[in-house]
Amino acid sequence: MPIINHNSQPVLQSDEFSSLRPLVTKDHGAASLTIQEITIKPGMEGRLQTHPVDVAFMMLEGSIQMIIGNEVRTVRSGNTLLAPPGTPYKLINNTWVPARLLMIFPSTQLERKLLE
């Protein structure tokens, strides 16, 4: 069983997020789990999308607005956002500070269908 030092994992730039740090992946030995630390910079808006699996976003710092289905919800640190399979969602950081969260899904590769 590996112990993964989060600080030694590379921080990657992403088109959709300000930065992404893979914490648990198939490269670490996971067979069906991915956990990524994501930072969403102020003003960043993701794209409306769906996934065939559950996707959970655990808020660590800041707040994020999530459009999920027909609802718009503002979620702050200490809460978890859940996008069930097939549910359209979008993340928006409409604040002046970065939002940091964990993205968790039960797969080593996240399939996504863009809706916009």
- pLDDT tens per residue across span 63-99: 999 998 788 999 999 999 999 999 999 999 999 999 9
At residue 85, the pLDDT reads: 96
- pLDDT at residue 16 tops 70: no
Q: Which amino acid is at 75?
A: V
Q: Which residues pair with 100 in a beta bridge?
A: 39, 61
Q: What is the pTM of this model?
A: 0.89
Q: In the sheet where 80-83 sits, what is the strand order?
A: 19-24, 34-40, 99-105, 55-61, 80-83
- pLDDT at residue 44 tops 80: yes
- pLDDT at residue 14 tops 80: no
DSSP 3-state of 46:
coil
